[in-house]
Amino acid sequence: QVRLVESGGGLVQAGGSLTLSCAASGRIFGLNAMGWYRQAPGDQRELVAHITSGGTTSYADSVKGRFTISRANTKNTLQMNNLKPEDTAVYYCNAVLNQFNHYWGQGTQVTVSS
């Protein structure tokens, strides 16, 4: 069983910063990429940031230049700066094992007030 534990969500004013963290544990042999997705009410879940086991990163256009994902083995961190109200969503940690199997955290709420 794979377990992803997230932390770091909360309420912040526009222009502020938050840091999300995710730790993977359990049967994580074959862990490949990790990343963060988000889902706002009424919207589909979307990719925010992604980092491979080799450290290659990718970002949604809407967060480029503001968010930074980093990784240390089975943990990853999403640094979110200059937050905007449209960043408000539930953020989910994602891990990919053996290139095809996706696992999800329980989600953490990020709310940005204007």
62 φ, ψ (degrees, to nearest 5): -70, -15
Using pLDDT thresholds of 50, 70 and 90, give the confidence band for residue 98: confident
**What pLDDT is recorded for position 30?**
86
What average pLDDT does range 57-71 have in this prediction?
A: 98
**What pLDDT is recorded for position 58?**
97
Query: Is 34 exposed, middle or buried, given 0-12, 13-18 or 19+ CB atoms closer than 10 A?
Result: buried
What average pLDDT does range 71-83 have in this prediction?
A: 96
In the numeric block, which tokens belong to residue 56? 């290659």
Q: Does residue 99 carry a pLDDT above 90?
A: no
CB 46 within 8 Å of CB 37: yes
Looking up tokens 């889902």 gives 39
Using pLDDT thresholds of 50, 70 and 90, give the confidence band for residue 72: very high
Alpha helices per DSSP H over the chain? none
Q: Does residue 4 carry a pLDDT above 90?
A: yes
What average pLDDT does range 35-58 have in this prediction?
A: 96
**What pLDDT is recorded for position 3?**
95
In the predicted model, what is the mean pLDDT of the chain?
95
* Beta strand segments in 31-100, E: 31-39, 46-51, 57-59, 67-72, 75-80, 89-97
